[in-house]
Every structure is written in C-alpha cells, then in structure tokens.
Amino acid sequence: MKSKLKVLMVSSEVVPFAKTGGLADVVGSLPLALSKLGCELRIAMPKYKMVSESGFNLLNIDKEVNVKVGNTMQKAKIFSTKVAGVVTVYFFDHHEYYDRDQLYGTTQEGDYKDNLNRFSFFARGTLELLKKIDYKPHIIHCHDWQTALIPVYLKTLYRDDPFFEGVKTLFTIHNLAYQGIFPEEEFNITGLDKEELFTPDKLEFWEKINLMKGALIYADILNTVSRGYAQEILTQEYGCGLEGVLKERKDKLYGVINGIDYKEWDPTMDKELTMSYDINTIERKSKNKKALQQENNLTVDENIPLLGMITRLSAQKGLDILDEIIEELMELDIQFILLGTGEAKYHEKMKQIKEKFPSKAAIHLSFDPKLAKKIYAGADMFLMPSRYEPCGLGQLISLRYGNVPIVRATGGLKDTIINFNPVKKTGNGFTFEEYSSQMLYSTIKRAVETFYKDKESWRRLVLNGMSADFSWEHSAKEYIELYEKALK
C-alpha cells in the first residue's frame, strides 16, 4: 500500500485563527480538502494576539524552538490544536514578535519595522520545529513572502542536513505585489551567507533583499492561484519586476484556481441570513435583500438593483477607476453597499458618497465577516473591477449566493466569470477588458439595464452562477498532482 502523502503547510494567516485576506481562506480550507483525499496535513503559523483571543483551546506541547536571528537567540514555545479532528496546527508563541494587534503593520505607521526578524524566525523556526518533533513531511507547502525563506534555507543552511533529505517544497504565490522587501543592511538577520546569496541572481533585487525572489528561485515547484494569473505574471505589466525570474522557471510554474469552503459559504445553512435559500428557492433571496435595505436605511424596494462590494480599499481592487465615476454611477437608479477598509483617501470618498446619497448608499469602513455574508446574500450584483486579481474569492462567493459578478477580466476573474451573452443567454456575470473608468461605468450600466429590462436573462445569470462548482475538491486534486511532480 502506498504511504500517506504528508504535507506541512506554512502560512502567516489561516482561517479561523487569523485573517487579513484570501490567503487565510485558502489555507483554512485546502488542508481539509486534501485530508479528505487521503493526505496527512499539518499547518504552522504564528500565534498572534488575534489567535490567542480567537477562543480556541490551544495546548502547550512543551517544545521550544530556538533560532538565531541576527546576533540574538530567539525562542518560541509551541502550541497546538486540531482542526476538524484531522489537521494539526502548530503555533509559534513569541510574545515580542507576534503578540500584537495587527499581523504585518498598522494603518498609521505602515509595516512593522522588524518584519524581517519576525518572518525569518518563523521560516527557520518551522524547520527547527520539524526536527524537534521528529516529523518529516514529504512536502513543505509555503505561501507568500512570509514563508519564502523556507525553500532558501532548505537549499542552503540545511542542504546537508540528513533530516531534510528528499523533502520538497511547493511555493504558492497568492499576490506577487507583496514580495517582502527589506534593506540590504538587514541581511544578517536572515542568518544566510551574504556573499553567496546577496547577488542579483539570488535574493538581491535592486540593492534590496527580496524574500519572494528567493522562493521563486529555490522552491522545487511554483504555482499561483489561477491559470490566468500564472500567464500574466510572466509579462512586464503584471510581473512586478520578477517576470524575468519567473520566465526562467516557467516550466515549474503552474496555476491552480482557489476553491471556497462550501460549508462556510452556504446560503442554505448560513446563520447570518434572514432567510436561507438555494437554487430551487431563489425567490427567497429577496427576503435577505429587504433586510439588508432595512438595516442600512436604504429605500426598501426589491425592484431596485442593489450593488454590493466587499474589498480592501486599494487601487489593486479598482478603487481608483471606481473613484472617478462613483458619483455619476450613483445617479443611476441603483443602490450601493460597500464593506471595506484600506487607503484613507478612499475612506474619505466613500463617506462623501454616503452623505450625498443617504438613501441609496450604505458604507461600512470596517472588517466585518458577518456583515459580509449578509451582503453576499442580499445584493443582486457584486463589483470587482480589479486592476489585477490572482484568483479572487469575492466573485466565487457571489456566484454561490446568487449574486451576479461585474468584474474586470483579469487573472482569476477572467478564468471564472463568463460575460453575459444576450443573444445566446449564456454567461454568469458581466466582464470588461480595458482598465478604465468608462469601461467600468458602461459595464455596470449594461448589468443594470439587463436587471431592469430582461428578468428572464437575469434569472438565468443567477442560476448559472449558483449551479457552478467552485468547491475545493477539484483544486485539491490539482495540488496533489503538483506535490507528485515535486517528488518526482
């Protein structure tokens, strides 16, 4: 009998313990899907304040990990818990590094100044932990820049360590724009040999240290979270300066679309909803719309299209082009509900919109997962005009909740949303190619007109969305194929 494939996932955020974005959703769901397919999964992550306060019973496993960070010895206690009875999660308890209100920095002061210390420690500490608990996985699956030093350490400091012989790495890029860039002066924090590694063909990037670049060079296999984005990042437009490195490793670079957790996102069971519904009872969805309108002091009328948006307020998410047309947009016969946090200038703009259109706009400048569910269930349309989008989860959740996505055709949005064809009555949303406020405006208008004038087509769009399958099972199988490729 073939032995179980053992995978250690390493991520700086994991649902339900700590989340700032889609990465946490992925590492919260994928391990469970992989376990169902017969793999043995464990996870490592930092024990942030958010984790300690999340109400989970974390057990001190009585193991301590010691790692040299710069000229200091740092240590963490290891805590652990089990998710769904099958996935063991290890938490690095280092009070000074992780017991903070935020994960990476604050809105006022930007990134924490010691992020290189925090994540070098986490990366090397993970390898030390494996030795301490004598657990040798076949694959270490690393996610984003915070874990990017793991493949580098394995092929440098640990290359002759027999414990890691045969252990392979997969590095998943969730967002190439965040690379983990630090000043050259901090190089000694990593514990790596500067002469060997601080060169333009390794970790040096325009005279700075670039952790992501290290992973792109040293990981055995690479992937991003959609096929579309895997193609796009080979170009100058989307490659964020790393397109050259990626082209060199093109034969090891794959795209696997994210799924969503169908238990977590389920309009038939969702406790936050006023009324549950499914594909056979979509007329019940309107009860959620009514409640959302009521709770947000919007005019209660199911015939007015309600446009939802749940997002980080950043230019990546298309806030710059939305900003240019939002007032004009609000003159249409629509309602708009936004949930998001991010750049101060967009907070300001959205507050102005609320003041100017009190019965048509609802603005929530916060992070609120419960409200998010109410919006997914209550809105008619969902806006994601991203400049670039590695995968995007909002559009997938929207499809599941019978919300019609309006998206820019890029990355994962391009792979999952098919433009409505009014003649053939096909598609599951509305898409546009050119990144401009005019195209955004005309696409929203196209959707609004369809909503008002062609109820039958609208119903088709909703049904097409709700009948799609973006559960994790399919993508988890593709990840197993990647693990097998790495082990070959």
Considering only 223, 224, 311, 410, the residue that binds ligand ADP (CB under 6 A) is: 311
Considering only 65, 116, 140, 372, the residue that binds ligand ADP (CB under 6 A) is: 372
For the CB of residue 229, give the shortest distance to ligand ADP in the complex, in Å: 11
Considering only 194, 202, 312, 354, the residue that binds ligand ADP (CB under 6 A) is: 312
Q: Does 393 bind ligand ADP (CB under 6 A)?
A: yes
For the CB of residue 279, give the shortest distance to ligand ADP in the complex, in Å: 21
Give the contacts of 124 (CB within 8 A, at least 6 positions apart). Answer: 67, 149, 153, 157, 191
β-sheet bridge partners, residue 486: none
- Nearest residue (CB) to ligand ADP, 244 versus 369: 369
Interacting span for ligand ADP (CB under 6 A) from 5-13, 47-55, 64-72, 339-347: 339-347
Interacting span for ligand ADP (CB under 6 A) from 143-151, 329-337, 361-369, 457-465: 361-369
Q: Which amino acid is at 335?
A: Q
Give the contacts of 180 (CB within 8 A, at least 6 positions apart). Answer: 115, 116, 119, 145, 146, 148, 210, 211, 212
Interacting span for ligand ADP (CB under 6 A) from 40-48, 143-151, 268-276, 309-317: 309-317
- Nearest residue (CB) to ligand ADP, 340 versus 385: 340
Q: Does 341 bind ligand ADP (CB under 6 A)?
A: yes
Q: Does 337 bind ligand ADP (CB under 6 A)?
A: no
Q: Does 242 bind ligand ADP (CB under 6 A)?
A: no
CB-nearest residue to ligand ADP: 22
Considering only 7, 310, 337, 379, the residue that binds ligand ADP (CB under 6 A) is: 310
- Nearest residue (CB) to ligand ADP, 200 versus 369: 369
HEC string of the chain?
CCCCCEEEEECCCECCCECCCHHHHHHHHHHHHHHHCCCEEEEEEECCHHHHCCCCCCEEEEEEEEEEECCEEEEEEEEEEEECCCEEEEEEECHHHHCCCCCCEECCCEECCCHHHHHHHHHHHHHHHHHHCCCCCCEEEEECHHHCHHHHHHHCCCCCCHHHCCCEEEEEECCCCCCCEEEHHHHHHHCCCHHHHCCCCCCEECCEEEHHHHHHHHCCEEEECCHHHHHHCCCCCCCCCCHHHHHHCHHHEEECCCCECCCCCCCCCCCCCCCCCCHHHHHHHHHHHHHHHHHCCCCCCCCCCEEEEEEEECHHHCHHHHHHHHHHHHCCCCEEEEEEEECHHHHHHHHHHHHHCCCCEEEECCCCHHHHHHHHHHCCEEEECCCCCCCCCHHHHHHHCCCEEEEECCHHHHHHCCECECCCCECCEEEECCCCHHHHHHHHHHHHHHHHHCHHHHHHHHHHHHHCCCEHHHHHHHHHHHHHHHHC
For the CB of residue 16, give the shortest distance to ligand ADP in the complex, in Å: 13
CB 43 within 8 Å of CB 30: no
For the CB of residue 138, give the shortest distance to ligand ADP in the complex, in Å: 28
- Nearest residue (CB) to ligand ADP, 222 versus 363: 363
- Nearest residue (CB) to ligand ADP, 264 versus 454: 264
For the CB of residue 339, give the shortest distance to ligand ADP in the complex, in Å: 5
- Nearest residue (CB) to ligand ADP, 312 versus 446: 312
Considering only 5, 10, 13, 22, the residue that binds ligand ADP (CB under 6 A) is: 22
For the CB of residue 440, give the shortest distance to ligand ADP in the complex, in Å: 17
Interacting span for ligand ADP (CB under 6 A) from 30-38, 137-145, 282-290, 304-312: 304-312
Interacting span for ligand ADP (CB under 6 A) from 2-10, 127-135, 368-376, 442-450: 368-376
Closest alpha carbon to 144 in 43, 212, 204: 212
For the CB of residue 164, give the shortest distance to ligand ADP in the complex, in Å: 31
- Nearest residue (CB) to ligand ADP, 104 versus 367: 367
- Sheet with 181-183, edge to edge strand ranges: 181-183, 208-210, 204-205
Q: Which amino acid is at 364?
A: H
Considering only 7, 9, 12, 25, the residue that binds ligand ADP (CB under 6 A) is: 25
How many chain residues interact with ligand ADP (CB under 6 A)?
17
Considering only 392, 402, 405, 429, the residue that binds ligand ADP (CB under 6 A) is: 392
For the CB of residue 311, give the shortest distance to ligand ADP in the complex, in Å: 5
- Nearest residue (CB) to ligand ADP, 191 versus 405: 405
Considering only 104, 112, 367, 452, the residue that binds ligand ADP (CB under 6 A) is: 367
Q: Which residues lie near ligand ADP (CB under 6 A)?
A: 21-22, 25, 310-312, 339-341, 367-369, 372, 391-394
